[in-house]
Amino acid sequence: MKKISILGSTGSIGTQALDVVRNNKDKFKIEALAVNTSIETLKNQIIEFRPEVVAVYNEEKSNELKKILPKEVNVDIYSGMEGLKVIASLESVDIVLTALVGMIGLVPTLEAIKHRKTIALANKETFVTAGSLVMNEAKKMGVNILPVDSEHSAIFQCLNGESNKEIEKIILTASGGPFRNKTKEQLINVTKNEALKHPNWSMGRKISIDSATLMNKGLEVIEAKWLFEVDSSDIDVLVHPQSIVHSMVQFIDGSVIAQLGNPDMKLPIQYALSYPNRIYNDYERLDLAKISSLTFEKADTNTFPCLKLAYDSLEKGGTYATVLNAANEILVSEFLNDKIKFYDIPMYIEKALEKHSSIEEPTLEEILYIDDWSRKFIKESIK
């Protein structure tokens, strides 16, 4: 039985991971859970799954959790970044699912690697901000990093039994989000509610906005570069509105292998948790005859400049991607709070990238400093 820690247990990925565990109680046990602030949901998770340890990043909310838990529930409660690091490094844990949203996931992921835990990675910002550092540490400690994003899980499955040296091209698929085939003029005044209406996937608010701007796909391009050790020029993005082909790999002999499935995040989550084995589930099966047709088109980087900014940051190297990610996190939050417009997101990201002086081989401390600088720059710029 695998013992699991989940960082971000109340978010979209975390709750779906708990669904997987709930359906496979003979194979998985929840050892630890961590959240940012959502203590009511965490309370219910504690009562159901009875973890040994939990952490709440927000210290005030951590204290509140202690008051609302039933007296008969016995669980150790930690707070702050040190609490997240505890959850990531418990001796009894086999696999750590990092599903926190944003830069907050980097330090606990590195802590899990330090303690030689297998990582099920759903926090793409970890690779975007510190890809070189994370991969070097994982290799040094002999740690497996198993992708949870549907696209990277697809590539990982396509490469099963293959050599990375035989990759000619990685093809990431994108649904196109809620604004596929829209023009710039049509998107100037779109609202957050329109941007949150993803046509195929059920996701959290931040990633839904990233999908609408295509920044999510840009972050995935950067993540793919580090996970699969390829150049940015070897990664293509195709818009595939049916979200059935989750990604493809083209090999040096011209063969293309694709992974297909219904748009259900529980599938890649289950694969990461059960790897190297597959386990049965009763999820809806893919019916290609019913779907009838699958279509593909090139991504429009003119209408969706965030994707191009991600490619540019990756090609420039150093800490440009750190700036890109931090700026985007702040700007998405401001958009969700109705403080800025849709196209202000790429505009201010570009300003931050132009202002930035990159560091080629950054340490963790330098990455955290650049992340902080980018956030402050954006906040000052949009006042």
Going by pLDDT thresholds of 50, 70 and 90, the confidence category of residue 202 is low
pLDDT at 302 over 80: yes
**Percent of the chain topping pLDDT 90:** 91
Within 10 Å of residue 188's Cβ, how many Cβ atoms? 10
| 206-235 average pLDDT score | 94
pLDDT at 83 over 90: yes
Residue-wise pLDDT tens digits, 101-130:
888 899 999 999 999 999 999 988 888 999
Find out whether the peptide bond into 305 is cis, omega within 30 degrees of 0: no
Residue-wise pLDDT tens digits, 240-277:
999 999 999 999 999 999 999 999 999 999 999 999 99
pLDDT at 336: 95
> What are residue 108's phi and psi, to 5 degrees?
-65, -30
Residues 275 and 28 sit within 8 Å (Cβ to Cβ): no
pLDDT at 260: 97
CA angle 163, 250, 310 (to 5 degrees): 100
Nearest alpha-carbon partner for 87 in 34, 151, 163: 34
**Percent of the chain topping pLDDT 70:** 99
Which pTM does this prediction carry? 0.92
Residues 209 and 187 sit within 8 Å (Cβ to Cβ): no
Residue 212's contacts (CB-CB under 8 Å, 6 or more residues apart) are 177, 178, 179, 195, 196, 198, 342
| 27-43 average pLDDT score | 96
| Greater pLDDT, 164 or 345 | 345
State how beta strands 53-56 and 76-79 pair. parallel
C-alpha torsion sign, points 122, 363, 87, 206 = negative
Within 10 Å of residue 163's Cβ, how many Cβ atoms? 9
pLDDT at 101: 83
Residues 238 and 296 sit within 8 Å (Cβ to Cβ): yes
| 229-239 average pLDDT score | 95
The Cα–Cα gap between 335 and 345 comes to 8
The Cα–Cα gap between 102 and 83 comes to 17
Write the single-letter amino acid at 298: K
Within 10 Å of residue 344's Cβ, how many Cβ atoms? 15
User: How many Cα atoms within 13 Å fall on the side-chain side of residue 52?
Assistant: 12
Nearest alpha-carbon partner for 39 in 19, 18, 60, 20: 60
Residues 9 and 89 sit within 8 Å (Cβ to Cβ): no
Both structure tokens of 339: 């403080």
pLDDT at 380 over 90: yes
Task: Report the length, in residues, of the chain.
Answer: 383
Q: Set out the domains of the chain in order of their start, with CATH numbers.
A: 2-147 (3.40.50.720), 153-262+291-303 (no CATH), 317-383 (1.10.1740.10)
pLDDT at 102: 81
Residue 119's contacts (CB-CB under 8 Å, 6 or more residues apart) are 95, 96, 98, 109, 112, 113, 138, 143, 144, 145, 146
Residue-wise pLDDT tens digits, 151-165:
999 999 999 999 989
Nearest alpha-carbon partner for 217 in 139, 138, 150, 162: 150
| Greater pLDDT, 88 or 205 | 88
pLDDT at 383 over 90: no
pLDDT at 199: 73
pLDDT at 97: 98
Dihedral over alpha carbons 41, 153, 196, 38 (to 10 degrees): 20
Residues 288 and 281 sit within 8 Å (Cβ to Cβ): no
pLDDT at 194 over 80: yes
pLDDT at 198: 74
| 346-363 average pLDDT score | 96
pLDDT at 351: 97
Residues 153 and 272 sit within 8 Å (Cβ to Cβ): yes
pLDDT at 201: 63
CA angle 98, 342, 207 (to 5 degrees): 15
Q: Quote the distance between the C-alpha of residue 71 and its chain's center.
A: 35
The Cα–Cα gap between 148 and 4 comes to 14
